[in-house]
Chain A
Amino acid sequence: MSETNMRLLVVDDEPIVGKRLKQVFGKIGFEIETYTDSAAALAAIAEKPFDIVVTDLKMEGIDGIEVLKRVRAMNPKTRVIIITGYASPDTAELAQQEGVFAFLAKPFRLDELKQVIYRAMEADRAKE
């Protein structure tokens, strides 16, 4: 599996996050969709599953933990990465229980996210 056929979805209510990640991951060959509204993101996931979902934690309406739960329910193979500026140990633990792949505190280096995503891809490869 290479980047070229990886499907990546990003949902964050700050438009900059999606725009930025689209630039970074689009450039290295990911197929990437970005959303600022979590309901719209979930609708897209329901239509066609993604390999990796990157979600913000605090969002109006459906929050990151809820996104995690629903994505895992729809497709357990999807890896979910939560990014947040408000990481508390409680939410981190809750996310762990719900099967989050990784938890990243803002601000973070884009390279760090890239590495996490590569790790997710490798974990998949190991399973296959």
Chain B
Amino acid sequence: MALRDLLKGFSATGWFTPKACRPLPLIFSQFREVLKANNQALELIADMGEKLSGEYLFDLRYVEATVEEMIAAMRRALTAINILTQNQCVALHEVFTPMEARVRAILNKRDDREGPPLLWLTEVETRHWPLVGGKAAHLSELLHNPKVRVPEGFVITTRLFHDLLDLNGLRPEFDRFELLLSEHLPDEEGLEALRRILQEKVLRAEPPSGFLDTLTEAITRLAASSEPPLFLAVRSSAQEEDMDFSFAGQFHSELQVPPQAEAVYRAYLLVAASLFGAKAIRYRRQVFPEGSPMSIAACCQRMIRAQASGIIYSIDPMEPGSQSMVAVGALGQGQAVVEGQVPTDFFRLSKGEPPQVIERVIAAKHEALRSTGTADGGLTMRAVPNGQSGVPCLDEQTLLELAGVAIHLETFFKRPQDIEWTLDPQGALYILQSRPLLITESEKGKPKLSEKLEGYELIAVDAGRVAQQGIGAGPAFWVETLADLKDFPEGAVLISHRDSSQFVQVMHRAAAIVTEVGTPASHMATLCRELRVPCLVGVPDIMVKVVPGEEITVDAEDRRIYRGRVVELLTYQATTTMDLHMAPEFRMLRRILREVSRLNLVDPLMQEFRPEGCRTFHDVLRFIHETAVLHLVELGRDDRCLPGGLARRLDLPIQAGILAIDIGGGIAPDAPRDQIPFSAIRSIPFRAILQGMMFPGAWHQEAMSVSFRDMMHSMMTTPQDTLSGQYTGHNIAIISETYVNLCFRFGYHFNIIDAFCHDVERDNHIYFRFLGGATDIAKRSRRATLIATILEAFDFSIQTKGDLVIARTSNLSQSEMERTLDILGRLIGFTRQLDVQMTDDQAVARYAEAFLMGDYGIVAG
């Protein structure tokens, strides 16, 4: 039926009651418009996300065209939600406009030019990554990681680099230089001449006015939070440096810089000019043969007074198959170690849990790189006092602590890591840098990988679908309820029946994720790609085939799961140099998706769930969807907006007293006008709920014996006590073929279920709210806890407050939706009068267990 016809029918029966009420079918059709626009945008985001999973080949043209389509869909979604909510969401436009501008800046390759010239490491968000460069981006991530200590500091961003080019008239030369670099066979002499000019001119560049003051302020702030004397380390952080490839030692670093703005600025110029160093340019042409403009930022951190410093590799690059890691270190500052100026101690550790030292070679360390001790800063080689040169630079305990950090960082970044560490005089371990460790293994004379894999037992072949490519191994860990996440061990493989965006809590610790149901387009899959967690979804019966705790290897490239730890595959992963991520189209798509696909508003029940809390396109869409759902939830709440004449009674075997209002396809056309039988209900979600309510034993007909105290309580309740006041009105179900909004007013409690359900998973949602009861607040709250406990077991996200329970779930397949709604139907019947029996806290656990075991009879007993 067309909307117009429906509206005609509704208005004829006095539908337009109080003036604030809009016709239900109109609101519902506006809701569907929101879903439609949201979906188009989400599908495009998911499509781009899938391209990033590594499973696809695509080109730059694809990226540009898809971004344009996506922005148009976002605009349609914003319009639609404002129509539905009658302009209650205009603030979203203001939130979205700068997001769109940032995405366009990426498309136009200008995203490293827009933003502040100076940013504190603690303030760096993913959208700042192009501005702060790879090293600073990684450090800022680590700054929020409680297992790692990072020296505080700030970043002079690429914005300043571009300002210097413009202000000092270097732009034309810079552009010519980049153009030459991108040519297949450039004029080598011209290139060399330009390189020199740029290098020299950058060294003499004047700062923008006011920048030295900004620097002075930043240095003063840093001094306030550190122990004197303060010196700074100014290190290069080139765009995407360290992201996927090394750039190790290609750019300049200036250490022990005195805390004055001029000195820090000079150090920054040395770093910036090194972008045009002969060595750096050679390296760049190797890794980016297609050319790609680069800019440079500098990370300015408090210098740690180093007792000892060095490097740890989370895997031995010489023997990647050996499952051991190696560390080297010397006394004093680490620059002497990375530049090979001093002999170093060598340690080899096993990668077990816990790690163990298996080899120790202690060098005679006669010299150490230390501060000159003058106010001008600088470092110098000093003799090590007699008797100390043979002492290991790290004691056993610190070495094991360092090894633990290395294992953690490898799991955190999902790649073997090359980590620079330093130890302060108090024995505190600091991480100065963590970047992917590149390993190359000689293929010559070795059997092919496919032959080496033949000896391993396969648990699953052609398993499910790839949500994120990669290879991960570890002990299998079952996540059956969200509470299990609390115990998730470092480096385990997460196994679950269905996916959940809540898994994000442990993704940094997970080696891989495998679920029995789910799609590569889910929120969880997006998060897996964001955090590069190898992930297979839709692998049937994996929970039957694998024993919890046993070691497995997940190959989310060829969709295979092996029993045991397949060292050859892990080695293959470590030695494959991820060329893919360096291609220009991948880098652009990755940057765009960072602005677009990350979901920060994971839980609609969080405080940040406001327009201002939205940081990505996905956040905006999630906010729009939830707002639209909440708008619908309120539909049946105000009785005055419901047309009495259209409500039809149901004829059910249980006395639920429900009136149904059909707004399109919810009831069979040939059903009787009144007393509608169950068989005539066409609404998918409503049918499922009724099925649950009618499940044998779930609905208790007989009244509970209410104690005298409870009776008194309900009689004494005044209307002011809104939480337990009597709810008047009918039990109303507003239904369509794909939708139900069911409001129960069971005397003293109020219960809403709002659900949308059809074959597009991401449209589907369930919203459940339960409030009140006839008994005292303690019993009512216990019932609320009981409901929350049960719903949590079914993966709902829950909020409780006193006797109020709000639960939500979404993104379920139609069959999962129907199963869950059926359970909700049983739960409504089961808990209807149960507050009376909630005499103590143990009752909560007892009844929850009974319900989960299907023992509904416990209520009657």
* A residues lining the B interface (CB < 8 Å): 3-4, 14-17, 19-21, 23-24, 26-29, 83, 85, 106-111, 113
Q: Across the interface, do B51 and A107 meet the contact criterion of CB distance under 8 Å?
A: yes
Q: Across the interface, do A20 and B579 meet the contact criterion of CB distance under 8 Å?
A: yes
Q: Across the interface, do B585 and A16 meet the contact criterion of CB distance under 8 Å?
A: yes
Q: Across the interface, do B580 and A19 meet the contact criterion of CB distance under 8 Å?
A: yes
- List, sorted by A's number, 11 A–B pairs whose CB atoms are closer than 8 Å: A4-B448, A15-B289, A16-B585, A19-B580, A27-B450, A27-B558, A29-B449, A106-B62, A107-B51, A107-B62, A108-B56
For the complex formed, measure the closest distance between the CB of A107 and the CB atoms of chain B, giving whole angstroms: 3
CA distance A29 to B448 in the complex (A): 7
Q: How many A-B residue pairs have CB under 8 A?
A: 62
Given the known inter-chain contacts A15-B290, A23-B579, A27-B558, please indicate yes or no for A111 contacting B585, CB distance below 8 A: no
For the complex formed, measure the closest distance between the CB of A97 and the CB atoms of chain B, giving whole angstroms: 26
Determine the chain A residues whose CB is within 8 A of the CB of B583 once the complex forms.
14-16, 19
Given the known inter-chain contacts A15-B289, A109-B56, please indicate yes or no for A27 contacting B580, CB distance below 8 A: no
Q: Across the interface, do B59 and A14 meet the contact criterion of CB distance under 8 Å?
A: yes
B88 at the interface (CB under 8 A from A): no
CA distance A21 to B56 in the complex (A): 10
Q: Across the interface, do A108 and B290 meet the contact criterion of CB distance under 8 Å?
A: no
Q: Across the interface, do B62 and A27 meet the contact criterion of CB distance under 8 Å?
A: no
For the complex formed, measure the closest distance between the CB of A15 and the CB atoms of chain B, giving whole angstroms: 7
Q: Contact partner of B61 among A4, A16, A85, CB < 8 A?
A: A85
Given the known inter-chain contacts A108-B56, A108-B57, please indicate yes or no for A27 contacting B51, CB distance below 8 A: no
CA distance A85 to B51 in the complex (A): 15
B29 at the interface (CB under 8 A from A): no
Q: Contact partner of A83 among B51, B57, B557, B558, CB < 8 A?
A: B57
Given the known inter-chain contacts A15-B289, A16-B585, A27-B558, please indicate yes or no for A85 contacting B59, CB distance below 8 A: yes
Given the known inter-chain contacts A27-B557, A27-B572, A83-B57, please indicate yes or no for A4 contacting B579, CB distance below 8 A: no
Determine the chain A residues whose CB is within 8 A of the CB of B585 once the complex forms.
16
Q: Contact partner of A23 among B51, B450, B451, B576, CB < 8 A?
A: B576
Central interface residue in B56, B58, B62, B451, by most chain A CB within 10 Å: B56
Q: Across the interface, do B557 and A17 meet the contact criterion of CB distance under 8 Å?
A: no
Which 6 residue pairs across A and B have the least CB separation, nearest first?
A107-B58, A16-B583, A29-B450, A19-B579, A107-B56, A85-B59
Given the known inter-chain contacts A4-B450, A27-B557, A29-B448, please indicate yes or no for A17 contacting B57, CB distance below 8 A: yes
Q: Across the interface, do A16 and B579 meet the contact criterion of CB distance under 8 Å?
A: yes
Determine the chain B residues whose CB is within 8 A of the CB of A21 once the complex forms.
57
B830 at the interface (CB under 8 A from A): no
Given the known inter-chain contacts A4-B450, A16-B580, A20-B579, please indicate yes or no for A110 contacting B57, CB distance below 8 A: yes
Determine the chain B residues whose CB is within 8 A of the CB of A23 once the complex forms.
576, 579-580
CA distance A16 to B598 in the complex (A): 26
Mark out the residues of chain B between 505 and 558 whose CB falls within 8 Å of any chain A CB in the assembled complex: 557-558
* B residues lining the A interface (CB < 8 Å): 51, 55-59, 61-62, 289-290, 448-451, 557-558, 572, 576, 579-580, 583, 585-586
Q: Across the interface, do A106 and B450 meet the contact criterion of CB distance under 8 Å?
A: no
For the complex formed, measure the closest distance between the CB of B576 and the CB atoms of chain A, giving whole angstroms: 6
Q: Across the interface, do A110 and B62 meet the contact criterion of CB distance under 8 Å?
A: no
For the complex formed, measure the closest distance between the CB of B524 and the CB atoms of chain A, giving whole angstroms: 20
Determine the chain A residues whose CB is within 8 A of the CB of B55 once the complex forms.
109-111
Determine the chain A residues whose CB is within 8 A of the CB of B62 once the complex forms.
85, 106-107
CA distance A108 to B448 in the complex (A): 27
Q: Across the interface, do B57 and A20 meet the contact criterion of CB distance under 8 Å?
A: yes
Determine the chain B residues whose CB is within 8 A of the CB of A111 once the complex forms.
55
For the complex formed, measure the closest distance between the CB of A123 and the CB atoms of chain B, giving whole angstroms: 21
Can you name 6 extra interface pairs (CB under 8 A) apart from A16-B585, A23-B576?
A14-B583, A15-B583, A16-B580, A17-B57, A27-B449, A106-B58
For the complex formed, measure the closest distance between the CB of A89 and the CB atoms of chain B, giving whole angstroms: 19
For the complex formed, measure the closest distance between the CB of A120 and the CB atoms of chain B, giving whole angstroms: 18
Given the known inter-chain contacts A15-B583, A16-B579, A28-B558, please indicate yes or no for A3 contacting B57, CB distance below 8 A: no
Determine the chain A residues whose CB is within 8 A of the CB of B451 once the complex forms.
4, 29
Determine the chain B residues whose CB is within 8 A of the CB of A27 once the complex forms.
449-450, 557-558, 572
Q: Across the interface, do B290 and A20 meet the contact criterion of CB distance under 8 Å?
A: no
Of chain A, the residue at the smallest CB distance from B450 is: A29
Of chain B, the residue at the smallest CB distance from A16 is: B583
Q: Across the interface, do A20 and B59 meet the contact criterion of CB distance under 8 Å?
A: no
For the complex formed, measure the closest distance between the CB of B170 and the CB atoms of chain A, giving whole angstroms: 30
For the complex formed, measure the closest distance between the CB of A54 and the CB atoms of chain B, giving whole angstroms: 10
CA distance A53 to B530 in the complex (A): 34
Determine the chain A residues whose CB is within 8 A of the CB of B58 once the complex forms.
106-107
For the complex formed, measure the closest distance between the CB of A49 and the CB atoms of chain B, giving whole angstroms: 21
CA distance A19 to B57 in the complex (A): 11
Given the known inter-chain contacts A107-B62, A111-B55, please indicate yes or no for A20 contacting B450, CB distance below 8 A: no
CA distance A29 to B451 in the complex (A): 8
Of chain A, the residue at the smallest CB distance from B584 is: A16
Of chain A, the residue at the smallest CB distance from B59 is: A85
For the complex formed, measure the closest distance between the CB of B403 and the CB atoms of chain A, giving whole angstroms: 30
Of chain B, the residue at the smallest CB distance from A110 is: B55
Determine the chain A residues whose CB is within 8 A of the CB of B61 once the complex forms.
85
For the complex formed, measure the closest distance between the CB of B466 and the CB atoms of chain A, giving whole angstroms: 8
Determine the chain B residues whose CB is within 8 A of the CB of A29 once the complex forms.
448-451
Q: Contact partner of A28 among B56, B290, B450, B576, CB < 8 A?
A: B450
For the complex formed, measure the closest distance between the CB of A108 and the CB atoms of chain B, giving whole angstroms: 6
Determine the chain B residues whose CB is within 8 A of the CB of A16 once the complex forms.
57, 579-580, 583, 585-586
Determine the chain B residues whose CB is within 8 A of the CB of A110 once the complex forms.
55-57
CA distance A81 to B55 in the complex (A): 18
Of chain A, the residue at the smallest CB distance from B448 is: A29
Central interface residue in A3, A4, A27, A106, by most chain B CB within 10 Å: A27
CA distance A4 to B452 in the complex (A): 13
Of chain A, the residue at the smallest CB distance from B66 is: A107
Of chain B, the residue at the smallest CB distance from A18 is: B579
For the complex formed, measure the closest distance between the CB of A87 and the CB atoms of chain B, giving whole angstroms: 13
CA distance A107 to B557 in the complex (A): 18
